[in-house]
Amino acid sequence: MKRGLTTLILALLTALPAHAASCSWSARMEEDEGGSVMMASVCGGPKGDAHLMLACFGKPVLSYDLGAAGGQLEPGISGSFTFKAGDKSLTKKLELEAMYNYFTTELSGPADPLLSLLRGKGDVTVSADKYGEATFPLKGSGAAIGKVLAECGKGSGGEAD
């Protein structure tokens, strides 16, 4: 999974500027070393340079790019991030994918509580004491996340060892 995630993140680095202009959820196919993979993403934060990204590598994987606020992070670290939307919040431990400076977590599946929260309305704020906070719009998230989840288990890319 690590190699597939690394390749996908590399693909995203070239695709994100197109998404950054609108800061709304979108879903589209991205090339991965194992083939094409559906990716949902949104930008946010004070400068619009932070990103949440969702892909499926057998199970859904959420990536969080802190943007410029993250600076260069120390390899091997992890952090507890709180996701808050409306009156709901939950905290997840995310591991740093050091090569690309993104935090990632594998979710339990389509019914994961974090996915439910991200399919809500309004905005979601992601925060951690050490890394500050960024707010992302949820408009269009349900459809974008639904497209990714529809591809889960279809054997589309990312299953490399």
Question: Residue 39 belongs to a domain with what CATH number?
Answer: 2.60.40.1880
What's the number of domains the chain is made of? 1
160 within domain boundaries = no
> Are the C-beta atoms of residues 90 and 83 closer than 8 Å to each other?
yes
- Confirm whether 90 is domain-assigned: yes
Prediction pTM value? 0.81
The whole-number pLDDT of residue 13 equals 41
Per-residue pLDDT band for 33 (boundaries 50, 70, 90) equals low
Q: Integer distance in angstroms from the first to the last C-alpha of the chain?
A: 6
Q: Domain range for residue 60?
A: 2-150
Give the 3-state DSSP-derived string for the chain, with helices as H, strands as E and coil as C. CHHHHHHHHHHHHHHHHHHHCCCCCEEEEEEECCEEEEEEEEEECCCCCEEEEEEEECEEEEEEECHHHHCCCCCCCEEEEEEEECCEEEEEEEEEECCCCEEEEECCCCCCHHHHHHCCCCEEEEEECCCEEEEEECCCHHHHHHHHHHHCCCCCCCCCC
What is the per-residue pLDDT across 71-80, written as a single tens digit (0 to 9) for each? 778 888 999 9
The verdict on residue 19 lying in a domain is: yes
pLDDT band, very low/low/confident/very high, at 35 (cuts 50, 70, 90): confident
* 38 in any annotated domain: yes
Q: Is residue 155 part of a domain?
A: no
**161 located within any domain:** no
Q: Is the pLDDT of residue 119 over 60?
A: yes
Distance of alpha carbon 81 from alpha carbon 75, whole angstroms: 17
Q: Is residue 64 a part of any domain in this protein?
A: yes
Q: Is residue 157 part of a domain?
A: no
